Chains A and B, each alone.
Chain A
């Protein structure tokens, strides 16, 4: 029974369905200005806390703003910034990890001790520290998350490079006259791509969670702009009378993060990647 569910959840089908869902999420986020029915920050106190209707499909919040529009615009922040964090920390991690693994020696030691230093702190504490120093704001959160996330890529990448370096084809490439950069670019990176994709997909889910969590704490995006975590925060005052104000954005976060996680798990199953 479990095996059958596992097969369905982690098989080719899961990869396809999750990919389609992710494309839909990103499409909705990109097209928000055209498909959102209302202006997400336009206050209309006469319409506040309305139930779902033809005009406001998911109702309105305590300032009369359209919830659906806010969710769609919020997706731009959550997904967009998660993507930026993903790409930049992947880039930094890949370069530093490949450098440490390929060069070895004291360069490796210094870079890996740095990684361990960062990993020793719980992520959120470190992020709170950075935001505490630079003040709240989306850019600061972005920087802080980048600072903590590259470490995972760097570590995995470094370990794989170290084991790849033992392979004869790296030596053969050197003897063929390839420069170190060419070896890293042509031989090492293509061979570590798959595990990196798997980790990247899983980390993407974390990035979305982290952005929402920090926005929930009021450290990320500042009002009146919409963001899922911030919307949950705004909804807390109306939890008894209008719990849906928290439930909708919470559900969106849940669905997106779970989609990324299932995709990551399915990919790791497919590629046979062992997770850290």
Chain B
């Protein structure tokens, strides 16, 4: 469904008129495919280029090289109406649930925005759909009249998820979607996401640095480090035996039940 082919990307630095600052490379020759109904975990330390890759896949940032094929169409080479059409199948849930919603809008308006843009619904149908979406993500229909400051982080993230699934998309990029939540909420949101995946036949690109969260929900994981794809596998087990330092660092970051049980690799102090 999604094919990422040889993506390289670099951020241009604002050049000084006397001296040129070379661009900063972020991604280097990354290729992978994501099948329908699959949840692909994209792991990496901060600054590894995960979010940039997420943005490129969402069509927000044109990569310096390579192409993104979504259902056979190159996201950056199609004309504007086609791109508008493709965009409805590609949605996102951000990490920071507070900044991802307009503080002045009600929950119903937030969830209704994609519907306004793509579907011609009567106001009754619109209300019905928003209510249905709220219930699907575990909120009550009355919550639609509340504004973002009246919700907790977990509830806000549910609203973000409702907005993302409003158009029945095919792929949702979960950009660290659970990282800013506490443990209990993380688990609840993850199980909600797993359930929605089943009911809506969704595919996820789960961007995270938390291996445990990735293991709960992902079918497949890949690790990027400093812009390079360093590990890619279906099996979680083989990951534990990987000897790449970036993978080991991620594994070492798992919080054990007791500090003494922490996994420490040889080269780490």
Q: Is B178 an interface residue (CB 8 A)?
A: no
**Do the beta carbons of B101 and A169 come within 8 Å of each other?**
yes
Chain B residues lying within 8 Å of A169, measured Cβ to Cβ, are: 99-102
Q: How far is the CB of B40 from chain A (nearest CB, A)?
A: 19
Interface of B is mostly: mixed
**Candidates B84, B94, B118; contact of A172 at CB < 8 Å:** B94
Chain B interface bracket (under 10, 10 to 19, 20 to 34, 35 or more): 20 to 34
**Candidates A168, A174, A176; contact of B96 at CB < 8 Å:** A168
- A167 vs B100: C-alpha distance in the bound complex, in angstroms? 7
Q: How far is the CB of A195 from chain B (nearest CB, A)?
A: 14
Interface of A is mostly: helix
Among B92, B104, B113, B117, the one with the most A-chain Cβ atoms within 10 Å of its Cβ is B113
**Do the beta carbons of B60 and A171 come within 8 Å of each other?**
yes
**Candidates B87, B100, B104, B117; contact of A168 at CB < 8 Å:** B100
**Do the beta carbons of A190 and B91 come within 8 Å of each other?**
no
Q: Is B90 an interface residue (CB 8 A)?
A: yes
Q: Is B153 an interface residue (CB 8 A)?
A: no
- A177 vs B82: C-alpha distance in the bound complex, in angstroms? 12
Looking across the interface, which residue of chain B has its beta carbon closest to that of A182?
B117
**Do the beta carbons of A176 and B102 come within 8 Å of each other?**
no
**Do the beta carbons of B60 and A174 come within 8 Å of each other?**
yes
- A186 vs B60: C-alpha distance in the bound complex, in angstroms? 20
- A190 vs B94: C-alpha distance in the bound complex, in angstroms? 22
Considering only residues 203-220 of chain A, those with a C-beta below 8 Å from chain B are none
Chain B residues lying within 8 Å of A54, measured Cβ to Cβ, are: none
Chain B residues lying within 8 Å of A173, measured Cβ to Cβ, are: 102, 113
Q: Is B37 an interface residue (CB 8 A)?
A: no
Looking across the interface, which residue of chain A has its beta carbon closest to that of B166?
A176
Looking across the interface, which residue of chain B has its beta carbon closest to that of A167?
B99
Q: How far is the CB of B194 from chain A (nearest CB, A)?
A: 22
Chain A residues lying within 8 Å of B118, measured Cβ to Cβ, are: 177
**Do the beta carbons of A168 and B60 come within 8 Å of each other?**
no
**Candidates B58, B101, B103; contact of A175 at CB < 8 Å:** B58
- A169 vs B96: C-alpha distance in the bound complex, in angstroms? 10
**Can you list 7 A-B contacts (CB < 8 A)?**
A168-B96, A168-B99, A171-B60, A176-B113, A178-B113, A191-B102, A191-B104
Chain A residues lying within 8 Å of B100, measured Cβ to Cβ, are: 168-169, 172
Q: Is B114 an interface residue (CB 8 A)?
A: yes
Considering only residues 184-207 of chain B, those with a C-beta below 8 Å from chain A are none
**Candidates A168, A174, A176, A186; contact of B94 at CB < 8 Å:** A168
Among B84, B90, B94, B160, the one with the most A-chain Cβ atoms within 10 Å of its Cβ is B94
Q: Is A187 an interface residue (CB 8 A)?
A: yes
20 new A-B contacts, CB < 8 A, other than A175-B91, A187-B102, A190-B102, are A167-B99, A168-B96, A168-B99, A168-B100, A171-B60, A171-B94, A172-B94, A172-B160, A175-B60, A175-B87, A175-B90, A175-B92, A176-B91, A176-B113, A177-B84, A177-B87, A177-B88, A177-B117, A186-B102, A191-B104
